[in-house]
């Protein structure tokens, strides 16, 4: 399993949903059906500091939930106290996603995967530990998954840059022997875990 930023579509929960008191089960059932039909059409997202946040709606017993014209959620504890604005944000970037079955990951080659809108490369380093990187070399954006493993390091097929551990570049063949490798040569990494035979 890996911690990735998933792809979010551009839809919105936009229609008004009135939830009744718990005594009126038939009205509540119709409201829930109305919510599911409307949620298929649109889901509202709000950009907050360059991160996408999706609004979640929860039932408030004894109160009502409605949507404003701009897609904002209004929750009131009772029918009389409407207008107090409470928006519940859910950060989808903090979720774990399954990648691949552990026993199907090759020991001697990188494995390229697409998860939501992210292209990642999964491989085992020299110690047998799973590593997950963005599938783009920082040099010329070549796919690292088309490269090879040399002494437990992932090598880009295009110019031979090698990466290990937490994405640090450890070898650039074109650099002089005494030159330092710049920090901008590091590749973006994702945390990966083995959980019940699934990465």
Query: pLDDT tens for residues 163-196?
Result: 999 999 999 999 998 999 999 999 999 999 988 9
For residue range 97-143, what is the model confidence (pLDDT) as tens digits?
888 999 999 999 999 999 888 899 999 999 999 999 999 999 999 99
> How sure is the predictor about 89, in pLDDT bands with cuts at 50, 70 and 90?
confident
Q: Does domain 98-190 have CATH number 3.30.530.20?
A: no
Report the distance separating Cα 24 and Cα 16, nearest Å: 18
> pTM for this one?
0.55
> How sure is the predictor about 3, in pLDDT bands with cuts at 50, 70 and 90?
low
pLDDT over threshold 50, residue 76: yes
Average pLDDT over every residue of 39-43: 39
Average pLDDT over every residue of 13-17: 42
Residue spans per domain, the chain: 2-94, 98-190
Q: Count of CB atoms within 10 A of residue 103's CB?
A: 7
Give the model's pLDDT for residue 199.
85
Tell me the residue ranges of DSSP E strands in the chain: 2-3, 45-48, 51-56, 64-67, 73-76, 88-90, 96-97, 111-115, 118-124, 130-134, 148-150, 153-155, 162-164, 168-171, 189-190
Higher per-residue pLDDT: 87 or 76: 87
Report the distance separating Cα 20 and Cα 29, nearest Å: 10
Give the model's pLDDT for residue 29.
35
For residue range 5-14, what is the model confidence (pLDDT) as tens digits?
444 444 444 4
pLDDT over threshold 80, residue 198: yes
Element containing residue 37 per DSSP (H, E): helix 25-41
């Amino acid at each position: 399993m890996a911690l990735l930023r998933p792809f979010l579509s551009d839809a919105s929960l936009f229609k008004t949903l009135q939830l009744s008191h718990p005594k009126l089960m038939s009205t509540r059932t119709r409201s829930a059906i109305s919510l599911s039909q409307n949620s298929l059409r649109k889901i509202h997202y709000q950009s907050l500091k360059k991160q996408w946040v999706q609004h979640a709606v929860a039932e408030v017993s004894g109160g009502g939930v409605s949507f404003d014209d701009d897609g904002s959620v209004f929750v009131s504890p009772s029918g009389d106290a409407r207008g107090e604005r409470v928006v519940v944000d859910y950060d989808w970037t903090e979720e774990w996603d399954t990648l691949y079955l552990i026993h199907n990951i090759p020991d001697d080659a990188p494995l390229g995967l697409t998860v939501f809108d992210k292209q990642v490369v999964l491989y085992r380093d020299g110690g047998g530990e799973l590593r997950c990187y963005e599938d783009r070399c920082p040099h010329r954006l070549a796919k690292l998954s088309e490269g090879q493993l040399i002494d437990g390091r992932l090598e880009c097929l295009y110019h031979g840059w090698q990466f290990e551990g937490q994405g640090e570049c450890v070898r650039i063949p074109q650099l002089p022997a005494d030159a330092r490798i710049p920090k901008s040569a590091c590749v973006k990494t994702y945390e990966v875990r083995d959980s019940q035979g699934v990465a």
